[in-house]
Structure 1
Amino acid sequence: MAKLTLLTTLFAVISKTLAALPNHKIRGVNLGSFFIVEPWMSSQTWKSMGCGNAKSEWDCVASLGQERADTAFQKHWDTFITAEDFDKMKEYGLNTVRIPVGHWFVEETIAPGENWPRGGMKYLDKVVGLAGSHNISVILDLHGAPGVQAPNNAFTGHTTENTGFYSPDNYNRACTFLRNMTERIHTHDQYKTTFILEVLNEPEPNHASLISSCYPKAYTTIRSTESSLSIPESHALTIQMMSSAWGAGNPLHSLPNSTFNLALDTHRYLTYSSIPPTKADYLNASCGDTFPSEENNKPLIIGEWSLAVKQEKEWSDEFSPTRKENHGWYRRWWAAQVRAYEKQKGWVFWSWKTELGGDWRWSYKEAVEVGVIPKDFSKVGEMAEC
C-alpha cells in the first residue's frame, strides 16, 4: 500500500460525504452488463464488440486476443453508461446505483493465463464520479470473484462448471481487490458518494470456508486498510455480505466481536421461485413478503429483483408485456414489491437498461418510459392494494 501524506489522508476524510448507511430508503438500480457484460441481456452490444457467440467475457477475450479485446471493452465501458443515464435516474426518483465489478479491474489480481479485459479502472473512476456529481449513492459489488464463485453464470465473467474461488489463494486475491478498492474509495474524490463495498455476489452454497475464513478475512482487510488511512468510524465504509437466506450460511458467524457498519444483501426473483406463475399468486407473495433476520437484525437491502415471471408463462396472454391490458397489473406488482422491500432498508432493481426487444421487465428505464413504473413514490401503498 502506498504511503499517504497527512494532507492526503485528511483530504480523503473531508471529501467523504456519506457516513455508513443513509437515513432514507435505498431506491436504486444495478448497472448490469456494464463492467461485466451478460450476453443474454445485452446481445446487440455483445455482437458489436465482436464477441459473437461467446458465452462470457473470458471466452470473448480468448477469442479476440488481448489487444483487440481491450479495445472493444474499453469502448463499451466509455459509452454504455453516460451522464444522461444519471440525469434520468435522478428524474425517476432513484438515489442509488449498485455497480457489479470483476476482480480483474484490480489488475494485480489477474493470474497468468487468465483471459480478462484490461484497463477498466479509469472507467470505473469515471462512472462513480458521474454518480457523485449527481448525488447518487454507490454500492460497489465484487460480482466476479477470482476463480469463479458460481457455476455456469456469465455474471462471474466466466461460464465454467469449476468454482475455484473457495481456496486460500483466491480468498487472498479477493482481499487484494477489496484492499485496493477500499484505499481508492477513501483517497479519490470521484468516490465521495460510495458508501457500501459488497465483498461477494451470489456465492455457491455449502462452502464452510466462506464463513470461517473468507468473510472474516474480507472484513479485517477492509477495516485494517481504513485504519492505516486514519479513517474515523464515522466515515468508514459499510461492508455488505449476502444474507444466510441466500443459502451459503450466516456471513456474520465468524466475524470479529467488535464489528460496525455491516449490511446484508438478498435477491428476490419470483421468476426463479417455486411460487405458481399466476397474477394472483405473485401478488399475494409480494404483498406478504417478509425477510426474517437470523443475523442480529443487521440492515437488509434487496440488492436484485425484477418484474420477470417464469419463462414458460412470460409471453402468455396473462403476462405478455406487449399487451397493454397487463400493464396495470405489472404496475401493481412493482408497487407490492417496493412496499415489501421498503420494510427493510430498501432495494436495487436489476437492471437499469437491457436490450431485450421491448421486454421492459428487466429494465427500470424502459418500464418507466412505458408507464409501468411511476416517477412518484408517494402513492406506492395505494398502488400495491395489499
Structure 2
Amino acid sequence: MWSSSATALTAFFLLSNSVSAITTTITQTTEVVYTTIQPAPQTKVVYTTVQAFQESEDGKVYLPAPPKPVSAAAISSKAPSISTKIPSGIFFSGYASGSGLPTGSGLHFGTGTGGIRPTGGIPRNNTYSTVTVRRIRTASGQSSASQSSTPNTLSAVIPPASSTKPTSVASLPKSSSTSATRASSTVAPKPASTGIPFLRGVNLGGWLVLEKWMNNEAFSGAFSSASDQFTFDQLPGAAAALEKHWSTFFTEDDIKTIAATGINALRIPIGFWAYDNTNTKYLKGADVYLEKAIGWARTAGLKVWVDCHGSPGSQNGFDNSGKAGAVDWQQSQNLDASISVLKTMATKYGSNKYADVVVGLQMVNEPVSWGNSKIETTQSWTEKAYNAVRAVTENKNMMIVMHDGFVGAGKWTDLATKIIGSGSKTAFGVDTHLYQVFNAEDKVLTQSQHITKACSWSNDLKNANKVMPTFVGEWSPATDICVNPDGSTTAGTSCSAKGCQCQSGDFDKWNDQMIEQVRRFTEAQLDVFESSSSGYFMWAAKGPGGWGFLNGIKKGVIPNPVTDRKYPGQCGGKKRREVRGNLGREAEAW
C-alpha cells in the first residue's frame, strides 16, 4: 500500500446577502488511501470548528459565542464527494472578486456564478487531505465562495447550507510543480477588486516618517538635537537607528491586534525620499518595511492606503512632511519631482500584484493653502498629477486620493467631477482631516460643545461624499478639556478644583469621569464618519497617551470593536447601514 503527498483543498463561503448571527469555519479532514487492488477509497473524517468576527444586522462587529461541537452527520450531506477520478483542471465563467477571509471589518463578495466543468483526471495513486469549508449562514441560506491561496489544490463546487439555487463558485489556486497536477491543471487569473469597502482604519504614524512628538525614544541620546526626519538622517549612526526603529515600532503582532478590534484598513505614511533621495540628505530604506506591512495586512485581511506623507520641498513646513520650516513644494521643480515619485509608487502599488490589498494611493498629505502656497496651484497640479499617475496604474480600481489642502472637501467637488467624468467614482477621492485640538476656537469649548461641533460635520461630509468618495484620513479623540468630580467639563489644560482632572494630564491616571467624556466624544465622531463619509483613519495606531489607538482600546475610550456604542445616537441621523445597506460589502461603498 502506498500513496503520494497530500493535496489540500480550501474553499471559503462568502455571503451573497446580509449576515445573520453566526460565522463558523468547519474543517473537515479527509484521509483517502488508494491501493492498486482496491477500487474504492477508504476515508476517515474529523470535524472541528472555529469562530470568526462578523457583523450583525445593526452594523456592529462582534465575536460570536463559543461554537457547539459539529457532528459529522450534521454536515455530511454537504461535504464534497471524493471519487476515483477527480478533475485536475477547473474552468469557470464567473470570478470571485473578494479574496479576503471574513474579518471584523466585513466580507468581500463573489461576483461570479458560472458553473465549473472538469478538464482532466488524476491517477488514483494519490492521497487527498484537509478540506476546509467556511460556511456563513444567511436568512435565505444563500452563499458564494472565493479561491484561497493554498498551493497544490483542487477545487470543487460545495453546496451552500440551504439553498434551492446554489450560486457558489470555488476556483483553483496555482499549484506547484507536482506530477499529479502539472499535466492538465489550468488556473483562471483572479481579477482585481471592483469596489472599495467602507474603510475603518488607523494611521501607522510615526513609523516610516518620524515625528519627534510621537517618537521620544528615537529622538533620544545622540539624536536629541534632531527636530525632524531631515535633521535626524544627517546625524552619525542614523542608518542603524532607523533600522532599529523600523523593525520594532510596528510588528506583525501589532497588525493582528489592530485587526481584532474591527479595523479593516491601514493608512501608512511614507516619505518621497524612500523612492528617490537624489540631491537630498534623507536616507532610503523605509519602503522595505512598507512592503512588510502590506504583507501583514494581507494576512490579517486588512486593506492598505499608501500615503505619500512627505513631498519634495515640504508641502506644509511641518515635521510630518519630513522637514520643518520653509514650504517650497509649489516650486515647479518640486511639483515635477513629486509627480515623478508618485509614478514610481503607482507603478508598484498600483500593479495587480497588490490589487487585493492596496486600495488607495494618496498623492500629498496636508498641503497648506496659505502664505505663498495657493489652493489654485494645488488643484491645478492635482489634475495633472492624477492623469500621470493613473496612466501607469495597472489596477484601475485603485483610488487616487488628494488631501483637501485645509479648505474643506466641498471645495473639491468641481475638480472631482471633472477628473472622474463618466468613469468609476472610485477613481478619485478626497481626504479631509478633522481635529478639535489645534485651533484657538476649539480650545475654549466644553466637551458637550465639542460633541455638537463633531455632529455638525455630517452635512459637509455627506454632500461631498455624494460627488466623490470622501474620507476622514485623520481624526483624534483629543480635546483640551478638564472634568470636574460631578462629571461636568470646562475648557482648558489645567484646573484647581479638588478632584478636577484635565485631558492633558497623565493618561495612565485618567479617572472614570475623564474616560467617559473622551469616549462620548470619540463615539460621536465615529457616528458621523460612519453615516456621512466613505471611511476614516484615526491618528494614530501608536502615540502618546490618548493619541494612540491601541492605548485608547486598552483604556476604554475607544470602542472595541469600533462599531460598539455605549452612548448611541448623540448626533441623531441615520446609521450607515440605513444609508447604504450592508457594511463591509465592497459594492456598497461606491
Q: Structure 1-normalised TM-score?
A: 0.83
- SS across alignment from 1:171: helix
Q: d(CA) in 2 for partners of 1:379 and 1:63?
A: 46
Q: d(CA) in 1 for partners of 2:452 and 2:501?
A: 16
Q: d(CA) in 1 for partners of 2:566 and 2:535?
A: 15
Q: What's the offset of the Cα at 1:308?
A: 1.2
Residues 1:378 and 1:367: Cα distance change in structure 2 (over 3 Å): closer
Return the structure number with greater strand share. Answer: 2
> 1:341-379 CA deviation, whole Å, 9 max, x = no partner?
11211210000012x3xx2x2011001011221213444
Residues 1:378 and 1:186: Cα distance change in structure 2 (over 3 Å): closer
Q: d(CA) in 2 for partners of 1:381 and 1:374?
A: 8
Alignment of 1:340-355 (within 5 A): 340-343=528-531, 344-354=533-543
Q: What's the offset of the Cα at 1:44?
A: 1.5
Alignment of 1:1-386 (within 5 A): 14=189, 18-22=193-197, 25-47=198-220, 50-64=222-236, 68-107=237-276, 110-112=277-279, 114-151=280-317, 153-160=318-325, 162-187=326-351, 189=353, 192-205=356-369, 206-207=373-374, 208-212=376-380, 214-226=381-393, 229=394, 231=395, 233=396, 236-243=397-404, 246=407, 250=412, 253=415, 256=419, 257=421, 260=424, 261-273=427-439, 274-275=441-442, 276-292=444-460, 293=463, 297-310=467-480, 313-314=492-493, 316=495, 317-320=500-503, 321=507, 322-324=509-511, 325-343=513-531, 344-354=533-543, 356=544, 359=545, 361-380=546-565, 382-383=567-568, 385-386=570-571
Q: Structure 2-normalised TM-score?
A: 0.56
Q: What's the offset of the Cα at 1:168?
A: 2.3
Letter in 2 for 1:29: V
- SS across alignment from 2:429: strand
Judge which range, 258-267 or 30-39, deviates more.
258-267
- SS across alignment from 1:63: coil
Contact kept, 8 Å, 1:150 with 1:204, in 2: the verdict is yes
Identity %: 24
Q: What's the offset of the Cα at 1:218?
A: 1.4
Q: d(CA) in 2 for partners of 1:286 and 1:15?
A: 41
Q: d(CA) in 2 for partners of 1:252 and 1:380?
A: 36
Letter in 1 for 2:522: W
Q: What's the offset of the Cα at 1:244?
A: 6.4
Q: What's the offset of the Cα at 1:73?
A: 1.2
Q: d(CA) in 2 for partners of 1:219 and 1:93?
A: 32
Q: d(CA) in 1 for partners of 2:414 and 2:297?
A: 30
Return the structure number with greater helix share. Answer: 1
Contact kept, 8 Å, 1:34 with 1:81, in 2: the verdict is yes
- SS across alignment from 1:264: strand
Letter in 1 for 2:313: G
Residues 1:323 and 1:238: Cα distance change in structure 2 (over 3 Å): same
Q: d(CA) in 1 for partners of 2:320 and 2:219?
A: 14
Residues 1:98 and 1:172: Cα distance change in structure 2 (over 3 Å): same
Contact kept, 8 Å, 1:125 with 1:191, in 2: the verdict is no
- SS across alignment from 1:123: helix
Contact kept, 8 Å, 1:20 with 1:238, in 2: the verdict is no
Q: d(CA) in 2 for partners of 1:244 and 1:369?
A: 33
Residues 1:31 and 1:250: Cα distance change in structure 2 (over 3 Å): same
Count of aligned pairs between the two proteins: 352
Contact kept, 8 Å, 1:18 with 1:193, in 2: the verdict is no
The structure showing larger relative contact order (alpha-carbon pairs under 8 Å, at least 6 residues apart) is: 1
Contact kept, 8 Å, 1:244 with 1:251, in 2: the verdict is no
Residues 1:281 and 1:47: Cα distance change in structure 2 (over 3 Å): same
Q: What's the offset of the Cα at 1:89?
A: 0.8
- SS across alignment from 1:209: helix
> 1:200-220 CA deviation, whole Å, 9 max, x = no partner?
1100104222212x1112111
Following TM superposition, the consecutive aligned residue runs of length 4 or more in structure 1 with deviations greater than 6 angstroms are none
> 1:93-147 CA deviation, whole Å, 9 max, x = no partner?
100110111001112xx232x2211222222111111111111111111110001
Residues 1:287 and 1:253: Cα distance change in structure 2 (over 3 Å): closer
Contact kept, 8 Å, 1:15 with 1:192, in 2: the verdict is no
Letter in 1 for 2:510: R
Q: What's the offset of the Cα at 1:263?
A: 1.2
Q: What's the offset of the Cα at 1:310?
A: 3.1
Letter in 2 for 1:140: V
Q: d(CA) in 2 for partners of 1:295 and 1:192?
A: 24
Residues 1:16 and 1:44: Cα distance change in structure 2 (over 3 Å): farther
**Where does the alignment leave 5 or more consecutive residues of structure 2 unmatched?**
1-187, 482-490, 572-590
Contact kept, 8 Å, 2:401 with 2:429, in 1: the verdict is yes
Computed over aligned residues only, the root mean square deviation of the Cα atoms, in angstroms, reads 2.6
Contact kept, 8 Å, 1:132 with 1:191, in 2: the verdict is no
Q: d(CA) in 2 for partners of 1:44 and 1:291?
A: 41
Q: d(CA) in 2 for partners of 1:353 and 1:215?
A: 31
